């Protein structure tokens, strides 16, 4: 009986608690906490892959002369493949003016294909040039973007046309217009945009604005909105040009300050 009591007392004694050995500690499973993935670069994020972009931009204005008005906009649909390629269609520009003899319009409708990497895009567009008070023709548009689509970038589009010269009536290849945009990220959802374009058709604009990412991370399901202010003009044939084959004909001219708006969706 005394031996049993002594064993029980020894078992209840704090000194009897045996600490784990170094071997036991080495065999214990360590707890590993995964670090969150780093955020993409603000100025050079990777390109979106496997998505379709739909973008609409409008720059309406009330003219400073007469009862005139106008707008210069653009619309495009692009599919960006997993491989570094893009296919799309675009209307750029959609330039409309109303004054004098009615409403005039100038637009270029093109199919576009391009090589697209994280920080470079080289493309080419082919389509039609349409002008209500002028001649139609073929639109050829090389395109270039230096920088990431959703980061710091400079994009340019040069357009040439194959059309009949308005002075001689002969078909010629000539410069039509140039349009560009400089995008500078200010914060994760905000980008400063400076856009400008001019054409011999003739139209022109220059705007300063902001682009805001409403929802999404740049992939499918992302929405963007943009706003800008500046100046714009559209001239669909001057009233009288005595050097042209037909010197005087219908015309539409308007110019003034503009407030531009835009929306983009990716899916």
Cβ atoms 182, 194 nearer than 8 A: yes
What local confidence, expressed as pLDDT, does residue 30 receive?
66
What whole-number distance in Å separates Cα of residue 216 and Cα of residue 174? Answer: 42
Q: Dump pLDDT digits (tens) for 200-209.
A: 888 999 999 9
pLDDT, position 102:
81
Check pLDDT > 80 for residue 16: no
Q: What is the DSSP string of 17-79?
A: PPPPPHHHHHHSPPP-PPPPPPPPPSSSPPPP-SEEEEEEEEEEEE-SSTT-EEEEEEEEEEE
Domains of the chain by start residue, with CATH:
52-266 (2.40.160.40)
Token reading at 43: 């100025």
**Average pLDDT for residues 170-175, to the nearest whole number?**
86
- Where does residue 106 fall: left (phi above 0), alpha (psi -120 to 50 degrees), or beta otherwise? beta
Q: pTM of this prediction?
A: 0.81
Model confidence at 158, pLDDT cuts 50, 70, 90, reads very high
| CA 4, 6, 8, 11 torsion-angle sign | negative
- Cα–Cα separations (whole angstroms), residue 250 to 90, 91, 101, 135: 28, 24, 5, 13
């Amino acid at each position: 009986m005394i031996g049993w009591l002594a064993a029980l007392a020894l078992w209840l004694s704090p000194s009897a608690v045996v600490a784990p050995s170094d071997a036991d500690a080495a065999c214990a499973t360590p707890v590993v906490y995964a670090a969150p993935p780093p955020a993409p670069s603000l100025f050079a994020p990777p390109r979106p892959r496997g998505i379709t972009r739909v973008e609409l931009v409008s720059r309406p204005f009330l003219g400073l002369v007469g009862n005139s008005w106008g707008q210069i906009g653009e619309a495009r649909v692009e599919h960006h493949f997993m491989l570094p390629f893009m296919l799309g269609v675009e209307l750029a520009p959609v330039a409309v003016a109303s004054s004098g003899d009615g409403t005039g319009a100038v637009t270029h409708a093109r199919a576009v294909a391009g090589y697209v990497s994280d920080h470079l895009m080289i493309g080419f567009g082919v389509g039609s040039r349409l002008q209500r008070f002028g001649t139609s023709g073929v639109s050829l548009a090389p395109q270039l973007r230096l920088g990431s689509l959703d980061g710091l970038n400079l994009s340019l589009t040069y357009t040439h046309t194959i059309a009949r010269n308005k002075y001689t009536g002969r078909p010629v290849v000539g410069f039509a217009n140039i349009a560009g945009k400089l995008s500078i990220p200010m914060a994760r959802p905000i980008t400063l945009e400076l856009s400008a374009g001019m054409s011999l058709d003739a139209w022109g604009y220059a705007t300063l604005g902001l682009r805001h990412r409403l929802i999404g991370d740049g992939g499918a399901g992302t929405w963007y909105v943009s706003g800008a202010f500046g100046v714009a003009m559209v001239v669909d044939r001057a009233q009288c040009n005595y050097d042209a084959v037909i010197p005087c004909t219908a015309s539409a001219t308007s110019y003034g300050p503009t407030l531009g708006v835009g929306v983009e969706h990716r899916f």
